Amino acid sequence: MDTAISEYMEQLGRRARAASRAMARADTATRNRALTLIAAAIEREAPALRAANAQDMEAARANGLAPAMLDRLALSDKAIATMVEGLRQIVALPDPVGEISNLKVRPTGIQVGQMRVPLGVIGIIYEARPNVTVDAAGLCIKSGNATILRGGSEAIHCNRALARIVKAGLEQAGLPADGVQVVDTTDRAAVGALITMPQYVDVIVPRGGKGLIARLMAEATVPMIKHLDGICHVYIDAKADLQKALDIGFNAKCHRYGTCNTMETLLVERTIAPTVLPQLAQRYLTESVELRADAESHAILAAAGYPHLAQATEEDWATEYLAPILAVKIVDGIDAAMDHINTWSSKHTEAIVTEDYSAAMRFLREVDSASVLVNASTRFADGFEYGLGAEIGISNDKLHARGPVGLEGLTSLKYVVFGHGEIRS
Amino acid sequence: MDTAISEYMEQLGRRARAASRAMARADTATRNRALTLIAAAIEREAPALRAANAQDMEAARANGLAPAMLDRLALSDKAIATMVEGLRQIVALPDPVGEISNLKVRPTGIQVGQMRVPLGVIGIIYEARPNVTVDAAGLCIKSGNATILRGGSEAIHCNRALARIVKAGLEQAGLPADGVQVVDTTDRAAVGALITMPQYVDVIVPRGGKGLIARLMAEATVPMIKHLDGICHVYIDAKADLQKALDIGFNAKCHRYGTCNTMETLLVERTIAPTVLPQLAQRYLTESVELRADAESHAILAAAGYPHLAQATEEDWATEYLAPILAVKIVDGIDAAMDHINTWSSKHTEAIVTEDYSAAMRFLREVDSASVLVNASTRFADGFEYGLGAEIGISNDKLHARGPVGLEGLTSLKYVVFGHGEIRS
């Protein structure tokens, strides 16, 4: 690796570690004041931010960036207002830091509990969207962490401008400016350095595509909280309420196509399939959803005259379409459904539609995914809907934080002991 | 890597993953029955176990294993009784699996909670002690996980015999024998394979020396719950109660020398040092503890005529002695003490002795270690003393599990949603 980059990143790391102590020590009011000051400054400096963004957009267009990426890079007035509103919502959330739980007196006389504390230094690696800079900084400040932000090189001008605002807000509130640092180089080697300095960085939160995650999984020595793909399933059980099945089956697919909690495979119990599938297909028709059906469901849907029909292959069970396409399969019952899910799912979110108590309880217990729902759309699997207030991502990992990750996911628990002079005998 | 080893490990992994579903699904009574059957079989087959252990001991002696290692390898009648008792204690612990917490109704009508579930497959890598095979298997069975155990090659005969007993117990209880697998090769490549199959192994718990941990940190792609060294501190504050300071200062060092929660550095506030140090030295004298003192404390201790005295160097602040040796340093007050701790500690366990409320509260909040104690000996930092019932190790990590790791540390939380047909609008 380039020595200059490696030294630069080492310097960021050392500064972040030093700042993390002051961030962790700061009281609630101080951290909230910093967030409030930053929100006000972003409002005030909106013209400067838009100018910086215009520079990024111009360079991106010159480099032939795809329209979808340009769209993500653009910082509109509305996007700025949303960032500001997001910070104010974070201010309003309860402070997770310092809370002591499970306090109990032990036979020896000591009193043992667990205190929620910041993780320390959080590294966030993301792509073009400049709003992530502010959302992530806000969550890290609120949870008492120092953070190193590595945004996409396309957004470097805008991220520099945001970094300046954030640092000023921290300093005005009496916190170290190094509490939030933006990696100020577009050299890709900076990512390689960030993910291999466990002495300075406690956790990496990658927010990006499969390519980024794959690279990090191969190279990182710092632990990660990963947001991966969502191959989500809805299983319509024999005992499903027909109306709920139609509503959920439609909403889970068609409410939004590009989100990770969108249904990608529909499983239908065999005996109910001839009733459910044709009616559900009428709904999908309004959205021209392409149905990739296994042999049995294909026969039913073809008989019903569904126009956008294809044969499913095994690849369909493993695909996150993020589009008006849905894989459909008929199964024998709950065991076959759970077997399919535990084999093909990305362990993000799955739902069952049923009025059968035992089927619901088994599905909740035995499906090995971050979110498991009974009689509700997979689209609810999200930090805001779950009441976390804000989220930094949805974790497909099992360790530390699983499912939507809010402020708690950015903290750890340490044991605290209140004694009275006790010694071990 | 040797293809045969790599294929063998892949096979173990595939079997463990398959078995993990049945382990997770099993009810409390079934898992407890397996543990009870295994405990009874270990008692019954003690002679066969001792014979297997004798084979291991003979080979170890022939290979010139160090006496301390031979001691750890030996399986005495008492060690067997302790294993059996340990399993019965695990049976008596409450089942963590299936518990639902934080259940709340959201404005949309859905009810969201978190269900405690097994992690899946846990890989445990340890050294000579055969009792770890049974302790670890017991904790993993109770927490509904499948496990792959890789013990030290010195204990291979004994571990094979134990594996046979454990598998028989699982099968008699109606659980898959592959719920617990012992790696049946002494080839070191097996470890390399185990730590790089995230598709089959959810977490690695290494229990071994620094060399093992360093190797795993460099090579593992499976996340780890690490047990590292304990460079633990006691800080005697200006407002300390003298009697508590003497009791805790002596107990934290001299109760046991070889444990990770033993104090290795004593910090004393400057104004109280001339009073505390000579009296504490009298206690240390009874155990001939070598004191490695900074200049100021050296002067006080030399004046008091303490015989086992040396000058501390910076290396002493970073050393886990595991012996009757103690580093001693005089500090200006709580800020200097916390600064020393947050710089040199291994973030395992630290204690303050003080009657000052604000000093106690600041120490609890600001010291970044897994266990922080006020007016109690560091020796309390242990799963049994904290009431976890049993522990698989003490984690120095901040993610997932920090401090003593019991059954909860071997589980994860998934979100469960009870709906009534809700869809997102």
Selection from A119, A101, A339 nearest residue A233 by Cα: A339
DSSP code of A289? P
Q: In CATH, what is the architecture of A3-225+404-417?
A: 3-Layer(aba) Sandwich (3.40)
> Does A243 lie at the interface with B, CB-CB under 8 angstroms?
yes
- Give the mean pLDDT of A334-350: 96
> Does A219 lie at the interface with B, CB-CB under 8 angstroms?
no
Question: What residues of chain B lie within 8 A of the CB of A415, using their CB?
Answer: 370-372, 381, 386, 402-404
Contact B256, B229 (CB under 8 A): no
**Cβ-based contacts under 8 A for chains A and B:** 222
Position of tokens 């207002």? A81
Contact B114, B415 (CB under 8 A): yes
Q: A225 to chain B nearest CA, in Å? A: 10
Check pLDDT > 90 for residue A219. Answer: no
Q: Which of A217, A396, A424 to mutate to test the interface with B (most CBs of B within 10 A)?
A: A424
Q: A371 to chain B nearest CA, in Å? A: 5
Do B371 and A415 lie within an 8 Å CB cutoff? yes
Q: Where are the alpha helices (DSSP H) in A93-199?
A: 131-142, 156-172, 189-194
Q: What does each C-alpha distance from B313 to B260, B280, B310, B328, B342 come to in angstroms?
A: 22, 21, 9, 11, 18
Selection from B16, B31, B34 nearest residue B172 by Cα: B34
Question: What residues of chain B lie within 8 A of the CB of A223, using their CB?
Answer: 223, 397, 399
Angle at A377 between CA A373 and CA A380, to 5 degrees: 80
Contacts with B118 (C-beta within 8 Å, 6 or more apart), sequence order: B20, B23, B24, B97, B143, B144, B145, B410, B411, B412
What SS3 class is residue A309? strand
Distance in Å from the first CA to the final CA of chain B: 54
- Band of residue A72 on the pLDDT scale cut at 50, 70, 90: confident
CA–CA dist B357, B375 (Å, integer): 12
> Does A300 lie at the interface with B, CB-CB under 8 angstroms?
no
> Does A257 lie at the interface with B, CB-CB under 8 angstroms?
no
Q: What is the residue-wise DSSP string for B124-189?
A: EEE-S-THHHHHHHHHHHHTT-EEEEE--GGGHHHHHHHHHHHHHHHHHTTS-GGGEEE-----TH
How many CB atoms neighbour CB B102 within 10 A?
11
Contact A407, A424 (CB under 8 A): no
Contact A200, A194 (CB under 8 A): no
Do A365 and B25 lie within an 8 Å CB cutoff? yes
Do B422 and A108 lie within an 8 Å CB cutoff? no
Q: What percent of chain A has pLDDT over 70?
A: 100
Q: What is the residue-wise DSSP string for B393-417?
A: EEE--SSS--EEE-TGGGEEEEEEE
> Does A112 lie at the interface with B, CB-CB under 8 angstroms?
yes
Q: Which of B234, B260, B377 to mutate to test the interface with A (most CBs of A within 10 A)?
A: B377
Confidence (pLDDT) at B389: 84
Contact B381, B404 (CB under 8 A): yes
DSSP code of A107? T
Do B251 and A423 lie within an 8 Å CB cutoff? yes
ipTM of the complex: 0.93
Strand (E) or helix (H) holding A38: helix A28-44
Contact B248, B349 (CB under 8 A): no
Check pLDDT > 80 for residue A142. Answer: yes
Check pLDDT > 60 for residue A1. Answer: no
Per-residue pLDDT of A309-330, as tens digits, reads 999 999 999 999 999 999 999 9
Of B119, B372, B375, the CB nearest to A398: B119
Confidence (pLDDT) at B1: 55
Q: In CATH, what is the architecture of B232-385?
A: 3-Layer(aba) Sandwich (3.40)
Q: Which residue of B has its CA nearest to A241?
A: B421
Contacts with A228 (C-beta within 8 Å, 6 or more apart), sequence order: A210, A213, A346, A348, A396
CA–CA dist B155, B91 (Å, integer): 26
Over the range B199-234, which residues count as b (16 or more CB within 10 Å of their CB) and which as e? Answer: ebbbbbbbbbeeeebebbeeebebbbbbbbbbbbbb
Chain B from 171 to 190: CB within 8 A of any A CB: none
CA–CA dist B85, B74 (Å, integer): 18
Q: Which residue of A has its CA nearest to B27?
A: A365
Per-residue tens of pLDDT for chain B, all 425 residues: 578 999 999 999 999 999 999 999 999 999 999 999 999 999 999 999 999 999 999 999 999 988 888 888 999 999 999 999 999 999 999 999 999 999 999 999 999 999 999 999 999 999 878 888 999 999 999 999 999 999 988 999 999 999 999 999 999 999 999 999 999 998 889 999 999 999 999 999 998 777 888 888 888 889 899 887 899 999 999 999 999 999 999 999 999 999 999 999 999 999 999 999 999 999 999 999 999 999 999 999 999 999 999 999 999 999 999 999 999 999 999 999 999 999 999 999 999 999 999 999 999 999 999 999 999 999 999 999 999 988 898 998 899 999 999 999 999 999 999 999 999 99
Contact A370, A391 (CB under 8 A): no
Do B381 and A422 lie within an 8 Å CB cutoff? no
Per-residue pLDDT of A73-131, as tens digits, reads 999 999 999 999 999 999 999 999 999 999 999 999 999 999 999 999 999 999 878 88
Confidence (pLDDT) at A365: 95
Confidence (pLDDT) at B227: 81
Position of tokens 């759970």? A338
Q: What is the CA radius of gyration of chain A?
A: 24
Question: What residues of chain A lie within 8 A of the CB of B104, using their CB?
Answer: 387
Position of tokens 């094979």? B160
Q: Which residue of B has its CA nearest to A216?
A: B221
Chain A from 325 to 354: CB within 8 A of any B CB: 342, 351
Q: Which residue of A has its CA nearest to B404?
A: A415
Q: What does each C-alpha distance from A356 to A272, B279, B419 come to in angstroms?
A: 14, 72, 13
Q: B113 to chain A nearest CA, in Å? A: 9
Q: B178 to chain A nearest CA, in Å? A: 18
Do B423 and A115 lie within an 8 Å CB cutoff? no
> Does A197 lie at the interface with B, CB-CB under 8 angstroms?
no
> Does B399 lie at the interface with A, CB-CB under 8 angstroms?
yes
Residue B93 identity: L
Q: What does each C-alpha distance from A260 to A264, A349, A401, B394 come to in angstroms?
A: 9, 9, 17, 36
SS3 content of chain A, % helix, strand, coil (to 5): 45, 20, 30
Burial grade of A288 (CB within 10 A; 0-12, 13-18, 19 or more): exposed
Confidence (pLDDT) at A226: 87
Q: Which residues share a beta bridge with B122?
A: B147, B203
CA–CA dist B371, B403 (Å, integer): 6
Q: B188 to chain A nearest CA, in Å? A: 22
Name the residue ranges covered by the structural domains of chain A: 3-225+404-417, 232-385
- Give the mean pLDDT of A184-202: 92
Average pLDDT, chain A: 95
Q: CA torsion angle for B363, B369, B371, B374 (degrees, to 10)? A: -20
Residue B2 main-chain phi, psi, to 5 deg: -55, 125
Contact B374, B364 (CB under 8 A): yes
CATH hierarchy code of domain B3-226+404-418: 3.40.605.10
Q: Which residue of A has its CA nearest to B114?
A: A371
Do A247 and B120 lie within an 8 Å CB cutoff? no
Chain B from 81 to 100: CB within 8 A of any A CB: 98
